[in-house]
Amino acid sequence: MDTVALTRSIKEKALEIGFDLVGISPVGPFPESQFFKEWLSKGFNGEMKYMERNSERREDLRRVFPEARSVISCGLNYNTEYPYSINRVDKQRGWISRYAWGDDYHEVIKDRLSKLLGFIREVSPVEVKALIYVDTGPVLERVYGRYGGIGWIGKNTCLINQKIGSWIFIGEIITNLELNYDSPVPDRCGTCRRCIDACPTGALVKPYVLDSRLCISYLTIELRGKIPVELREKVGNNVFGCDICQDVCPWNRRAKFSRETSFLPREGLLNPELSSLLELAEEDFKKVFRKSPVKRAKRGGFIRNVLVAMGNSGNKRFIPHVKRLLKDADPLVRAHAVWALWKLEGKDALETIKGLLAKEHDPMVREEILNVMNQGL
Ligand code: SF4
Ligand code: SF4
């Protein structure tokens, strides 16, 4: 089998296995690697220090895998037939990012890439060396996607495909095989800047540049500590991730629906009722979010987010729920319960909050109590 036939059969197989997109690029390096270095140097990665640790390897894949020649990028559409967060949803309830409604995509994609690799090994005339990456390895996935022809990187920093939009999971097979390469996709954002204008926190500091430290997805998923006070109101009702800059994108207006049933929302996760989420103890959290992307936030981080959303709701019905969590074992939860109670009850909460100070020894919670007391003076 020659290179042309091998390339064609790999692409046909990828689609047959159930991927929606497949494209092939060389391994680089690409000019975007320089951009990534600058982005890191500005601290835009926040607490995601693992990005710095692997930055050299991200820059040039051949440092990890010297024989690497080609990257096969595969995309899977995860859009399901449910409303966007910007319309037809109840703002008194929470919002979990679309990608996290169903099963963890890492496993789904890894299984398919393994099948594809098995096929490549069967048909290749030469020995195949390969690595599989799904969001884990030192790979600039969107850059490979772009050079592999499956989409362009939009001003919202997501990979956008002209036909199916930006609700795409991607994974790659890096291989020693010489294959035919696709052409990079041209930028089709044009003069549009809807994502930048719609972002509640100004995290898209300029077109194509995201300051993660301001991004609600980072704040509600990656950040381990307290959500900065000045950003909490802007988090709105987002309890895990944020879809706004994709919801407003015109390329998602008629985005296709996925054939995957594993990405359909699990019961209770679409525009979820906040009080039911708040009741989750450690064991319940593990059970409800088993094999779900949401488990990444851990119970403390997730409940922190729910408390912020409750504080932002202005709905006094949540007060008894919030009060219960003033005694939670996790200081992160207690600290955000103090803030949520203050938001919901205002000055009426001051006596309760003051009363906590004598018994509270955790510096993070004490700081939160003192902040509220200062504001209440
Ligand atoms: S995910 Fe939300 S907060 Fe982050 S850049 Fe997009 S709109 Fe802004
Ligand atoms: S909203 Fe407009 S500018 Fe932003 S990614 Fe979509 S097309 Fe590009």
Report pLDDT digits (tens) over 207-228: 999 999 999 999 999 999 999 9
Q: Is 159 in the pocket of ligand 2 (CB under 6 A)?
A: no
pLDDT for residue 48? 86
Q: How far apart are CA 271 and CA 88, in angstroms?
A: 10
pLDDT for residue 59? 67
**Is 187 tagged catalytic?**
no
pLDDT for residue 58? 66
Q: Which atom of ligand 2 is nearest to the CA of 248?
A: 1
In the DSSP assignment, the letter for residue 258 is P
**Which amino acid residue places its CA nearest to atom 4 of ligand 2?**
195
> Which residues sit opposite 165 in a β-bridge?
161
User: Of 258, 8, 213, 250, which is closest to residue 108 (Cα–Cα)?
Assistant: 258
Task: Report the separation in Å between the CA atom of 84 and the middle of ligand 2, taken as the mean of its atom positions.
Answer: 16
Catalytic residue among 90, 135, 284, 328: 135
pLDDT for residue 77? 96
Q: Taking 70 as the threshold, does the pLDDT of residue 55 lie above it?
A: no
Each residue's pLDDT tens digit, 336-361: 999 999 999 999 999 999 999 989 99
How many C-beta atoms surround the C-beta of residue 62 within 10 A? 15
Question: Which ligand ends up closest to the CA of 86?
Answer: 1
Contacts 24+ apart (CB under 8 A), 288-296: 291/103, 291/104, 291/107, 292/100, 292/102, 292/103, 292/104, 292/266, 293/99, 293/100, 293/104, 293/105, 293/240, 294/96, 294/100, 294/240, 294/269, 296/221
Q: How far apart are CA 158 and CA 67, in angstroms?
A: 29
pLDDT for residue 158? 95
Each residue's pLDDT tens digit, 148-162: 999 999 999 999 999
Least confident segment among 7-16, 28-37, 231-240, 309-318: 28-37
pLDDT for residue 138? 56
Is the pTM of the predicted complex or chain greater than 0.75? Answer: yes
Q: How far apart are CA 145 and CA 134, in angstroms?
A: 12
Q: DSSP assignment of 289-321, as one string?
A: TTTSGGGGGHHHHHHHHHHHHHHHHT-GGGHHH
> Which residues sit opposite 24 in a β-bridge?
72
Given pLDDT bands bounded at 50, 70 and 90, which one contains residue 375?
confident
Q: DSSP assignment of 3-43, as one string?
A: HHHHHHHHHHHHHHHT-SEEEEEE----THHHHHHHHHHTT
CB-based contact 4:179 (threshold 8 Å): no
Please report, in angstroms and rounded to a whole number, the separation of the first and last CA atoms in the chain.
Answer: 78
Task: Report the separation in Å between the CA atom of 215 and the middle of ligand 1, taken as the mean of its atom positions.
Answer: 5
> What domains are there in the chain, each with its CATH number?
3-80+99-175 (no CATH), 274-377 (1.25.10.10)
Q: Taking 80 as the threshold, does the pLDDT of residue 56 lie above it?
A: no
Each residue's pLDDT tens digit, 85-144: 988 678 889 999 999 999 999 989 999 999 999 999 999 999 999 999 997 655 688 999
Out of 142, 156, 245, mutate this one to test ligand 2's pocket (max ligand atoms within 8 Å of CB): namely 156
Question: Which ligand ends up closest to the CA of 214?
Answer: 1
Q: What average pLDDT does this structure show over 321-331?
A: 96
- Give the number of C-alpha atoms closer than 13 A to the C-alpha of residue 45, restricted to the C-beta side: 16
Contacts 24+ apart (CB under 8 A), 291-299: 291/103, 291/104, 291/107, 292/100, 292/102, 292/103, 292/104, 292/266, 293/99, 293/100, 293/104, 293/105, 293/240, 294/96, 294/100, 294/240, 294/269, 296/221, 297/220, 297/221, 297/240, 299/330
